[in-house]
Amino acid sequence: MAHEIVHWELMGPDGDALAGFYEGLFGWTSEGAPGFDGYNLVAAELAGIGGAVGKGSEQMPAYLTIYVQVDDVEAHLSKAEAAGAKTVLPKTVVPGMVTFGLFADPAGNVVGVVEAEMPPAE
């Protein structure tokens, strides 16, 4: 399986203002994701690969990351740790949407891994 980049995120303290910045700069119109305040989806047709501009968390208020598709999030987080990375967010399942995790590579870059198969809705 090729491990392709399938998603990206540009996050900051004010997700909606940041989305407006990128809309003005690159014309990336976005749509809010239901149930995720300040998380604005940008279609692949606008940015080459679909992604999101939104509000960061307390732990990571501002960041840029990519998400790479893998067959098993836990296995790839373990593989990344064995190679010198640190897990930032363990395997997380959002029912009906996505299974993902985050690691910081040896240089501190945060990278996401995401499974292609959508988990069942609750």
| Segments making up each domain of the chain, as ranges | 5-115
CA distance 42 to 52: 5
Chain-centre distance for alpha carbon 108? 16
Q: Around Cβ 42, how many Cβ atoms within 10 Å?
A: 25
pLDDT tens profile 19-73 = 999 999 999 999 998 888 889 999 999 999 999 999 998 888 999 999 999 999 9
CATH 3.90.870.10 given to domain 5-115: no
Q: Flag whether pLDDT at 83 surpasses 80.
A: yes
CA atoms of 60 and 105, how far apart (whole Å): 15
